[in-house]
Structure 1
Amino acid sequence: MSSPTWPARAGAITDVDGIAVGHFTDPRRPTGCSVVLARGGAVAGVDVRGAAPGTRETDLLAPSNLVERVHAVMLAGGSAFGLAAADGAMRWLEEQGVGLDVGFATVPLVPAAVLFDLPLGDARIRPDAAAGYAACAAATREAPAQGNVGAGAGAMVGKVFGAARAMKGAIGTASVRVNGVTVGALVVANPLGDVVDPATGRVIAGARTVDGRALLDTRRALLAGEAPRPILAGTNTTLAVIATDAAITKAQAHRLAQAGHDGLARTINPVHTMSDGDTVFALATGLATAPSPGMMVLATMAAEAVARAVLQAVWAAEAVSVGALQLPAARDFARP
């Protein structure tokens, strides 16, 4: 394997005014959580395409439901156990006086989604409320760390033919700016399928050949008749948060989350499977001084930001070895 070359940073979700990001990475095993904070509140939407999601507070984001603005989105490893990280975010935000004033208390609204990373190390170690609190306390407006951190610490890519032939996934971020308006994305890439560079059609991370020395191309292998391994539902999932400083409605935020899935479809194959819980959130702070370019442009920007963030995630990933499981990273297969 030769020296790797991978893309330079492509911006960050924190380029959006009003957005901060914090990670907590558990030192005891590869797992963690990542929070996207909008302390001033953000109009929010969500779209769930995977058939095996693990989510919290997504129903309140339906366009027909009452509450429009949320204060954070929590992404976590640990499968369903990781949803507890949102409790810590609520506690931290309440201490900051951030939330919905209901007269008797200030209630922070923190939707959340989780991914499955339990095969890496001791599955009894997973993000909890303390982890979510720590992620919030660490949040800044600086460009967030990428790779094997936060919710991406235990992410894997390309498990159709078994974890032993998979590669390391991770977390990545990117942003796009058009005429004074910014759309950014934070993505945790933990898909069942491969990650593909849409510019070249080349698989850059995913299932490997039986000897582990080369990338297989899952799509071609399945179409050629190679049988997938039995896959437990919910043991995968790519999570994304889109943010923009444009002023949009809750219904438009829902449409923006839908458009974000186009970015996943460009870069992940197969995507939205019965064993993935793919979930995309959208946040709009409305703090841009420039006028909104309209939904056609914003949706195009959202899909592009998500696609770039997926690529950033796998290029930033680093190989890990946990017990008998050896997971190389995209950079290990890169060519100059």
Structure 2
Amino acid sequence: MNQLRNLITDIPGLRVGNAEDAALGSGVTVALFDEPAVVSFFAMGGAPATRETDLLDPDKMVPGIHGVVLSGGSAFGLDAASGVQAFLRERGIGFAVRDALVPLVSQASSFDLVNGGNKNWGRYPPYRELGYEAALNAGLDFTLGTAGGGYGATTANLKGGLGSTSAVTSAGHAVGALVVVNSVSSAVIGNGPHFWAGALEENEEFGGHGHPDRVGPEKRKLIWKGGPQPATTIALVATDAVLTKGQAKRLAIASHAGLARALRFSHALFDGDAIFAAATGRRPLRDEASEFTELTALAADCLTRAIARGVYEATALPYPGAQPAWRDLFETT
């Protein structure tokens, strides 16, 4: 395997692109597969915004899809998948049915409609064009933090953002995570700078602060946005292993442990917490039980790390009263 980027694009057969609009205060991130990937999905939040997720269930006929979109914009943002479809169709990519060609693109969106950006877009929201632009930008390297679907993301007390990490299992399978951190709760312990994910950090990827010596009751006090404000952390985990749709579903379910470890708290009534799991099918499982179990564990670990990294890499939005970024408060701590 080539030198790792610590990005989900360390999984062969997958590219990622971002597009954002600073005036809008929102954006789109797209993961495109070189070949149709086996993908499944599981949502545990109480308020998800999704498109084309039913076809990912193991009992549905579609064997693979062409892309996954993570966007801002709440239900309006679901238009982004149309732009990605247009990009793929122009290039002759899609599920062929006689003379028709239908690119299959699934999506989840997060709620970033009250972050200070200008959401008065007129008749139609701009997410279709942002989706097309993000697909056009897809490659192996991409920006983290205040970028793409994470551009307008916030947490309870710090600017959220786009995060990604990767790892390799003991059997050599690549696994990684891509996440838009827009949580109703907090990614840091108390008033920071320590991340809840600190125990799993690698190579100081989110500041190297680890955990405090003790997490007492005062540091466990719930910090959250409060009231009926939706806030969603949405993610894609991926591997180069050969998986069935049933195994991909189990991978998506198991990866929700990564949300629970990185945020205090997750899966709440106003959360739309949702995870896609993709397999690009480059490396068969030799010892299915043990290798798949390790994949589920490392995928959750990658997601935990990616959430902290998304907050760590973020910069504040350019609006009066915008949330501070982690680096604004703790860069020299």
Task: Give the TM-score normalised by the residue count of structure 1.
Answer: 0.84
Task: For residues 87-110 of structure 1, give each alpha carbon's deviation from its aligned partner in whole angstroms, at most 9, with x where no partner exists.
Answer: 000111111111111112111110
Q: 1:67 to 1:218 in 2, by over 3 A?
A: farther
- The Cα of 1:151 is off from its aligned counterpart by 0.4
Q: 1:17 to 1:134 in 2, by over 3 A?
A: same
- The Cα of 1:229 is off from its aligned counterpart by 6.6
Give, in whole Å, the separation in 2 of the partners of 1:137 and 1:102. Answer: 25
- Structure 2 residue corresponding to 1:310, chosen from 295, 302, 307: 307
Question: Which residue in the other structure is 2:220 paired with?
Answer: 220
Give, in whole Å, the separation in 1 of the partners of 2:322 and 2:138. Answer: 31
SS of 1:44's partner is strand
- The Cα of 1:220 is off from its aligned counterpart by 3.0
SS of 2:302's partner is helix
- Structure 1 residue corresponding to 2:186, chosen from 194, 197, 201: 194
- Written as runs of structure 1 = structure 2, the 5 A alignment for 1:310-329 is 310-323=307-320, 325-329=321-325
Q: 1:175 to 1:230 in 2, by over 3 A?
A: closer
- The Cα of 1:261 is off from its aligned counterpart by 0.6
Query: Does the Cα contact within 8 Å between 1:76 and 1:127 map onto a contact in 2?
Result: no
Question: Which residue in the other structure is 1:110 paired with?
Answer: 105
SS of 2:113's partner is coil
Query: Does the Cα contact within 8 Å between 2:152 and 2:317 map onto a contact in 1?
Result: no
Give, in whole Å, the separation in 2 of the partners of 1:59 and 1:32. Answer: 24
SS of 2:198's partner is coil
SS of 2:86's partner is helix
Question: Which residue in the other structure is 2:8 paired with?
Answer: 13
Structure 1 stretches of 4+ moved >6 Å: none
The one-letter code sitting in structure 2 at the alignment partner of 1:192 is V
- Written as runs of structure 1 = structure 2, the 5 A alignment for 1:17-166 is 17-119=12-114, 120-125=116-121, 127-140=126-139, 142-158=140-156, 166=157
Point out where structure 1 has 5 or more consecutive residues left out of the alignment. 1-8, 159-165, 205-216
C-alpha RMSD of the superposition: 2.5
Structure 1 residue 184 corresponds to structure 2 residue 179: no
Give, in whole Å, the separation in 1 of the partners of 2:225 and 2:78. Answer: 28
The one-letter code sitting in structure 1 at the alignment partner of 2:251 is L
- The Cα of 1:27 is off from its aligned counterpart by 3.2
The one-letter code sitting in structure 1 at the alignment partner of 2:133 is A
Give, in whole Å, the separation in 2 of the partners of 1:128 and 1:253. Answer: 28
Structure 1 residue 273 corresponds to structure 2 residue 268: yes
- Written as runs of structure 1 = structure 2, the 5 A alignment for 1:167-178 is 167-178=158-169
Give, in whole Å, the separation in 1 of the partners of 2:221 and 2:235. Answer: 27
Query: Does the Cα contact within 8 Å between 2:285 and 2:291 map onto a contact in 1?
Result: no
Q: 1:86 to 1:229 in 2, by over 3 A?
A: closer
The one-letter code sitting in structure 1 at the alignment partner of 2:306 is A
Query: Does the Cα contact within 8 Å between 2:242 and 2:285 map onto a contact in 1?
Result: no
The one-letter code sitting in structure 2 at the alignment partner of 1:168 is K
Task: Give the TM-score normalised by the residue count of structure 2.
Answer: 0.85
Task: For residues 52-86 of structure 1, give each alpha carbon's deviation from its aligned partner in whole angstroms, at most 9, with x where no partner exists.
Answer: 00000111111111112010001111111000010
SS of 2:120's partner is coil
Give, in whole Å, the separation in 1 of the partners of 2:227 and 2:88. Answer: 38
Point out where structure 2 has 5 or more consecutive residues left out of the alignment. 188-194, 201-205, 207-216
SS of 1:176's partner is strand
SS of 1:97's partner is coil
